[in-house]
Amino acid sequence: CAELNRGGVWQARLRLTCQHVNKAVDLSSVKKSVLSSMWSMCTDCLKERTMIDGEPAASHDILVCLKCGFQGCNQSGVQHAIRHHQAFHPESHCITISLITWKAWCFECNEELSTHCNKKALAQTLDFLQKHSVKTASAISPKIIKLREEASDYPDPSRGKSPVINSTLVPVKGITNLGNTCFFNAVMQNLSQTHMLIDLIQEVKEKGHKQKICPPVETNLSPLIATLPGPEPLTAAMILFLQSMKEPGKGPISPKILFNQLCQKAPRFKGYQQQDSQELLHYLLDSIRVEETKRVKAAILKAFNNPTEKTADEETKRQVKAYGKEGVKMNFVDRIFVGELTNTIMCEECEHISTVKEAFIDMSLPIIEERVSVSPLISFCLDKKVEKIYTSARKQMLISLLPPVITLHLKRFHQAGMNLRKVNRHVDFPLILDLAPFCSASCKNLAAGERVLYSLYGIVEHSGSMRGGHYTAYVKVRKPSASCLTSTPSGQWVYVSDTTVQTVPESRVLNSQAYLLFYEEMP
């Protein structure tokens, strides 16, 4: 009996007992081995020197043998965990725990196990491994924090000054999993490294912030200085979370306050079921956008002494509407993430052309069967290859407004009849992406022949299958602006899986199974 939820993850009834647990779980041996070994690294890969840029070749999914503590990889082609089970007394070395999904598996039963069966042996071992993972992550964080503290504009906490959010190097801290919330944690790691978000959210965080609203010239209205009220609950929780991610000190950080506030706005995320990272990003940004729009409108009405439909004359209504229309565009979500597509349809019979403009927070790109890269995918979607509709019209979509941060969504989950399947095919993606070929001729601030370069700074990765998947993040710790437009901006890539944080080489990032790609505009 199984049930499919929207996050693309199957939840199955688990066996409550396993006859192999008594022989195959030895907590003391696991502790001894884990404490004396390199954490989350395949033991055999290290012995065989199967390395790429200083990292084990297949260290994405590590399984720990609960009999002896052996750490083995479980990647296709290099399955040291399975070889270990087959070689060392299979029946007593048959139970493992994944360091990514934290699920127990018995090779003999060929089934996932409940961690609460048989005298809590599995639960105790799982508890030890998770605590050890947190300690290891904390031990890594000073290296990242040291990069941050080299910046001179950070105040000294010992002098009683509170830290201020700005765009210097942002430390990377682990985020506690509240129960199947890896889809949320992976997105938040990327937002925590979005420099423009850190800057703009700092501007509007305080009650009493003054915002200048300049309506279009044709309205004949002067600029309005609106005094904003305090942030709404979700936005306030977001500010608090980003502040915690940037403050000095070790992780991990609990996202409970922010996640609970989001669940108030979007009840679909209640219940701690696995969900979809792209949908999470949409709901989060949309909900914050609604709160900020409400905040700006309240400030505008206050500037006009809070008029009502009955008390306001027609001129007051006109002015409030004009300021409001312009003011809502100034929220930080629109200023950072929202772009515009122009959809052009031409009738082949009468040659009539109609255009429709639509806003987007991300661009969803279907994955075609052949091995491809991101740029051809964008061409396929925004189709330079003009798409025919029925037999009498042609359709073309081009970007007419580029946002400072653009998110590309690789559509890995596909509906096939009654079934939902995942496309595991690797997609090549560039570190520097030129979006000029995909822009319309009328795209704002784009001259003919000019390149529009975006630099990759974050990834949400989905590993595993429909039966059991896990979301992780790759983020780039970097300076706020690039010094050279022709080369990749310098920085250090960091892999984050909930509370596990570790620096990784660029090659591992490029080989990831990307689901969301975060690019920022280069100066």
Q: Are strands 405-411 and 413-416 parallel, antiparallel or unpaired?
A: unpaired
Residues 6+ apart with CB under 8 A from 47: none
Alpha helix (H) residue ranges in 338-414: 374-382
Helix then strand count (H, E) for the chain reads: 14, 25
Say how far apart CA 186 and CA 496 lie, in whole Å.
8
Helix axes 195-203, 233-246, angle to 10 degrees: 120
Lookup: tokens for 197: 């978000």
Q: Is 182 a catalytic residue?
A: yes
- Say how many CA atoms lie within 13 Å of 443 toward its Cβ: 25
Cα maximum dimension of the chain? 86
Residue that has been written with the tokens 């300076």 in this structure: 479
C-alpha separations of 314 from 181, 223, 226, 301, 308 in Å: 50, 19, 21, 15, 11
Q: 416 and 425 in contact (C-beta within 8 Å)?
A: no
Read out DSSP for 83-136? HHHHHS-TTTS-EEEETTT--EEETTTTEEE-TT-TTTHHHHHHHHHHHHHHHH
Residue 269: helix, strand or coil by DSSP? helix
Q: 176 and 245 in contact (C-beta within 8 Å)?
A: no
Q: Is 65 a catalytic residue?
A: no
Say how far apart CA 514 and CA 373 lie, in whole Å.
11
Lookup: tokens for 163: 């830290």
Catalytic residue among 18, 73, 182, 443: 182
Residues 6+ apart with CB under 8 A from 312: 304, 320
Residues 6+ apart with CB under 8 A from 516: 187, 190, 277, 278, 281, 362, 407, 408, 409, 410, 459, 460
Say how far apart CA 11 and CA 273 lie, in whole Å.
9
**Which of the residues are catalytic?**
182, 470
